[in-house]
């Protein structure tokens, strides 16, 4: 089912060890020191692995926030996120959950910042503190989610666009005083329901529970029905990988090709993560 661009060999990767975590999505990368600069060749190898496996795991990387930023910069400019808590720099987002009653948006299936005209290309997340149990993250393969839709559904969504808006997704968690000032800056945008991956040419389902509000030109009820069917594609276990974290582990995902979900099952314990996101381009 997996299609790679012409001329790519599936194996062997010459410079790195790629250890698949399932048939479709997720690979652990061994033999790369994230604390050091990447040569162009190594960056290329990692990019191939990213395009093929969609999320890469680096166990025990234990890098500083500076090194995390430097690694991400190999893929493009970093994105600042005005909605989320700042870490040590403007473009480092810190998730610090005491396992208390403060829910945050990340335990809902989503791709990051699809309410922007140019949603993130990807993100690099490191766990700084892990709870004694739980706190896993899941990623789902949006190419598989698209490929396995019934043909009749594929026909219905061919060429369709959907509206993405941060308000519905964040309103459950942040008050209007926090969200209102951002409404002018991030008005609702539309994206294709099926996007084409700019590097592999593969088609990807591009709607999510957090930010996609409706399909353009459809009656509310019809749009709701179709969207609920589409977003459920991310729930299929065969399209997912689930990662159990140790402190210092790093995940690097392709936000164009995946959705993710951080499981909130570790109360009353604490979990601290730091993320940098890479600016992306306009989906087509
Ligand atoms: O904490 C996690 O595992 C993921 C959080 C998240 O949604 C993100 O970093 O974009
Ligand atoms: Fe996220």
Q: What is the ipTM of this complex?
A: 0.98
Residue 225 pLDDT class (50, 70, 90 cuts):
very high
98-157 pLDDT tens trace: 755 555 557 889 999 999 999 999 999 999 999 999 999 999 999 999 999 999 999 999
Residue nearest to atom 2 of ligand 1 (CA): 262
- Quick count: other Cβ atoms within 10 Å of Cβ 90? 11
Say how far apart CA 109 and CA 191 lie, in whole Å: 18
Which one from 48, 69, 91, 110 is the annotated catalytic residue? 110
The predicted pLDDT at position 101 comes to: 52
Q: Is 260 a catalytic residue?
A: yes
- The half-sphere exposure of 259 on its side-chain side, counting CA atoms within 13 A, is 31
Say how far apart CA 14 and CA 11 lie, in whole Å: 8
From the CB of 262, is ligand 1 less than 6 Å away? Answer: yes
Q: Helix, strand or coil for residue 118? A: coil
Higher-scoring residue by pLDDT: 173, 249:
249
Q: Is 232 a catalytic residue?
A: no
Say how far apart CA 54 and CA 182 lie, in whole Å: 31
Say how far apart CA 180 and CA 82 lie, in whole Å: 12
Q: Tell me the average pLDDT across 256-283.
A: 94
From the CB of 156, is ligand 1 less than 6 Å away? Answer: no
Say how far apart CA 34 and CA 203 lie, in whole Å: 30
Q: Is 110 a catalytic residue?
A: yes
44-54 pLDDT tens trace: 999 999 999 99
Inform me whether the pLDDT recorded for 10 exceeds 60.
no
The pair phi, psi for residue 152, each rounded to 5°, is -65, -35
CA of residue 23 relative to chain centroid, distance: 19
From the CB of 273, is ligand 1 less than 6 Å away? Answer: yes
Which one from 195, 202, 260, 271 is the annotated catalytic residue? 260
Inform me whether the pLDDT recorded for 14 exceeds 70.
no
From the CB of 123, is ligand 1 less than 6 Å away? Answer: yes
Q: Tell me the average pLDDT across 162-189.
A: 87
Q: Is 128 a catalytic residue?
A: no
Q: pLDDT exceeding 70 applies to what percent of the chain?
A: 90
Mean pLDDT computed over every residue of the chain: 90
The predicted pLDDT at position 149 comes to: 98
Q: Tell me the average pLDDT across 28-43.
A: 91
Say how far apart CA 216 and CA 145 lie, in whole Å: 21
């Amino acid at each position: 089912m997996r299609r790679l661009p012409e001329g790519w060999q599936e194996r062997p990767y010459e410079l790195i060890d790629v250890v698949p975590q399932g048939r479709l999505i997720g690979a652990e990368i061994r033999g790369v020191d994230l604390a050091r600069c990447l040569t162009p060749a190594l960056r290329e190898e990692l990019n191939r692995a990213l395009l093929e496996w969609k999320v890469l795991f680096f166990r025990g990387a234990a890098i500083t926030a500076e090194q995390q930023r430097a690694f991400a910069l190999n893929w493009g400019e970093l994105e600042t996120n005005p909605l989320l808590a700042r870490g040590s720099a403007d473009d480092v987002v810190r998730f610090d959950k005491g396992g208390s009653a403060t829910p945050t948006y990340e335990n809902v299936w989503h791709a990051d910042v699809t309410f922007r005209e140019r949603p993130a290309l990807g993100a690099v997340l490191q766990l700084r503190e892990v709870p004694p149990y739980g706190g896993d993250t899941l990623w789902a393969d949006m190419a598989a989610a698209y490929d396995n839709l019934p043909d009749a559904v594929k026909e219905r969504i061919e060429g369709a666009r959907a509206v993405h808006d941060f308000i519905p997704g964040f309103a459950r968690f942040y008050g209007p005083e926090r969200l209102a000032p951002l409404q002018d800056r991030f008005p609702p945008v539309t994206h294709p329901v099926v996007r084409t991956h700019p590097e592999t040419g593969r088609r990807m389902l591009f709607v999510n529970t957090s930010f996609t509000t409706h399909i353009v030109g459809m009656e509310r009820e019809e749009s709701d029905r179709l969207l609920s069917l589409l977003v459920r594609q991310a729930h299929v276990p065969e399209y997912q990988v689930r990662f159990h974290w140790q402190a210092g582990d790093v995940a690097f995902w392709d936000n164009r090709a995946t959705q993710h979900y951080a499981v909130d099952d570790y109360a009353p314990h604490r979990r601290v993560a730091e993320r940098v996101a890479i600016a992306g381009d306009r989906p087509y």
